Amino acid sequence: MENKKEKLEGIKDKNTVKLIEEGYFTVIAGPCAIESWEQLDTIAKVVKDLGLSFMRGGAYKPRTSPYSFHGLKEEGLKYLKEINAKYGLKTVTEVTDTENVDIIADNVDVLQIGTRNMSNFALLEKVGRVANERNKKVIIKRGWASSIKEWLLAAEYITSKGNTEVVLCERGIRTFDTNTRFTLDLSAVPVIKKLSKLPIIIDPSHAVGQSDLVTPMSRAAAAVGADGLMIEAHCNPSQALCDGQQSLNVKELVELMRQLKNIASVIGKKIR
């Protein structure tokens, strides 16, 4: 009986941990794509040791080229579930199609809608329904050619289905400049704070596309008032099957966290 009670309380606790909390700056870190159990486990240990609560890892990878690595799919989801069991880290992965929403919800805590799917309304509706029924959180990235208004309306496809925690993620928009992969629109943060109650996090990795630019833009994201970050990190970026050029290695991630802690203390937040 005792055991049963403990278990039930554990489940309740799991479902009520929020992605974004007042007074906290949430850093979600992890590889672009899950490549193997060993790869995910090694970086998960780093993320856990840094005191973070959420980890990312792509199982279904929407790639611009049909010849690129498209992820381990169901096998990757299994690893994410094992990571949650082993380290207690909440997991984030991308839903790419109405067909994989249910199986992803079976295995992870946070459903991510990628930039390429921000205007896939059938997917948004399905994610809204499943997230509400199954108490999942949702991160919706900004389409790289979408206005803030279009983005907020896309988020409403999900919020209108119920009480789901929905978090916006700015990940860079397309402009004429080619020095960075996209242009990180940090002004989206104060604009969203004016227009919406939804929290907003920043993904500098996909925006800048180069690892050495990730740290300065992460500092700026914290200073501008974002509620958190999503960072690509890998134990061996040069060997990564996806987005290694923009992934922080372990040393860089540790140093970024040190710098963020300093900024967080100035702005009255705690990192988690």
Decide if 159 contacts 131 (C-beta within 8 A).
no
Task: Assess 248 for contact with Mn ion (CB under 5 A).
Answer: no
Instruction: Report how far residue 22's alpha carbon sits from residue 20's, in angstroms, rounded to the nearest whole number.
Output: 7
- In this structure, the number of other CB atoms found within 10 A of the CB of residue 42 comes to 15
Instruction: Report how far residue 74's alpha carbon sits from residue 20's, in angstroms, rounded to the nearest whole number.
Output: 27
Decide if 153 contacts 121 (C-beta within 8 A).
no
Tell which residue, 202, 201, 210, 207, has the closest CA to residue 245: 210
* 172 Rama class: left (phi>0) / alpha (psi -120 to 50) / beta: left
Task: Assess 198 for contact with ligand PEP (CB under 6 A).
Answer: no
Among 35, 94, 165, 227, binds ligand PEP (CB under 6 A): 94
Choose one: 47-55, 90-98, 171-179, 240-248; the region binding Mn ion (CB under 5 A): 240-248
Among 27, 32, 113, 217, binds Mn ion (CB under 5 A): 32
Among 25, 28, 44, 58, binds ligand PEP (CB under 6 A): 58
Choose one: 30-38, 40-48, 127-135, 142-150; the region binding Mn ion (CB under 5 A): 30-38
Decide if 247 contacts 208 (C-beta within 8 A).
no
Decide if 263 contacts 253 (C-beta within 8 A).
no
Task: Assess 141 for contact with ligand PEP (CB under 6 A).
Answer: yes
Task: Assess 243 for contact with Mn ion (CB under 5 A).
Answer: yes
Choose one: 29-37, 90-98, 163-171, 177-185; the region binding Mn ion (CB under 5 A): 29-37
Binds 109: which of Mn ion, ligand PEP, none (CB < 5-8 Å by kind): none
Measured from each CB, the residue nearest to ligand PEP is 114
Q: For binding to ligand PEP (CB under 6 A), which residues are involved?
A: 32, 58, 94, 114-116, 141, 171, 203, 206
Q: For binding to Mn ion (CB under 5 A), which residues are involved?
A: 32, 243
